[in-house]
Amino acid sequence: TQLLEQSPQFLSIQEGENLTVYCNSSSVFSSLQWYRQEPGEGPVLLVTVVTGGEVKKLKRLTFQFGDARKDSSLHITAAQPGDTGLYLCAAPNFGNEKLTFGTGTRLTIIP
Amino acid sequence: NAGVTQTPKFQVLKTGQSMTLQCAQDMNHEYMSWYRQDPGMGLRLIHYSVGAGITDQGEVPNGYNVSRSTTEDFPLRLLSAAPSQTSVYFCASSYSLRVRTGFTGELFFGEGSRLTVL
């Protein structure tokens, strides 16, 4: 099972600031997903990236897949309190139907 | 649209007791899975199923059993609860899109079941 390391583990910033969180592994991924989880709920898919170097934008969120497909980043521009939550990256294991999740980044946006 | 439904939402057990966490989905998804979530450890896969009658182990299967007799239901059984099984459990389902070397289908999660073992 491949390991996905996310950093930072916790991040607390003021509303309006920009931030970047990271997902790294020593393994090469065929694809990578980002989920957001709010308190008391299950995670919800934000995006799937499948091509090395791929950049996807979702309003103020920008997702990038590393060229070597070993890492990914999530950049949020002008953070808002509604962005508060646990951000999880996830990647499939080669040859089976297991999806491995990272340890998560807990983001708090202070109004 | 119900999506993925988990019951119960909260449960307290004593060490050694057994129980079943129920999971049902109404999206006709072939793929279903169970994760546990503990502070600082993200989501860890317990068991998964790619269709009725087929199950397989995830990263942390010990102490848990599953079965998949129908497409809709995927119950998780704790045979003899231990304090180490105190956690929040999530059931998730997907269309099971397998693309060459991996699984890239979107997982749809239930709201979770919080289990405390005393």
Higher pLDDT, B100 or B98: B98
A13 CA to chain B: closest CA distance, Å?
A: 20
Residue B5 at interface with chain A, using a CB cutoff of 8 Å: no
Give the 3-state DSSP-derived string for B24-78, with helices as H, strands as E and coil as C. EECCCCCEEEEEEECCCCCEEEEEEEEECCEEEECCCCCCEEECCCCCCECCEEE
Residue B56 at interface with chain A, using a CB cutoff of 8 Å: yes
Contact between chains at A103 and B56 (C-beta distance less than 8 A): no
Residue B103 pLDDT > 70, yes or no?
no
| Band of residue B41 on the pLDDT scale cut at 50, 70, 90 | confident
Nearest to B99 among A30, A98, A101 (CB): A30
The dihedral built from the CA positions of residue B97, B103, B109 and B115, taken in this order, carries a sign that is positive
For the segment B52-93, what is each residue's pLDDT rounded down to a tens digit?
A: 999 999 999 999 999 999 999 999 999 999 999 999 999 999
Cis peptide before A8 (omega within 30 of 0): yes
Residue B27 at interface with chain A, using a CB cutoff of 8 Å: no
pLDDT at B101: 52
Nearest to A97 among B35, B42, B103 (CB): B103
What value does the mean pLDDT of chain B take?
A: 92
pLDDT at B69: 96
For the segment A39-97, what is each residue's pLDDT rounded down to a tens digit?
A: 899 999 999 998 899 999 999 999 999 999 999 999 999 999 999 999 999 998 877 77
Please enumerate in sequence order all residues whose Cβ is within 8 A of that of A37, keeping only pairs 6 or more positions apart, or say none: A43, A44, A85, A86, A87, A88, A104
Q: Which residues of B touch A30 (CB under 8 A)?
A: 99-102, 104
pLDDT at A3: 83
Please tell me the least confidently modeled range out of B35-44, B71-80, B108-117: B35-44
**Nearest-CA residue of chain A relative to B60?**
A1
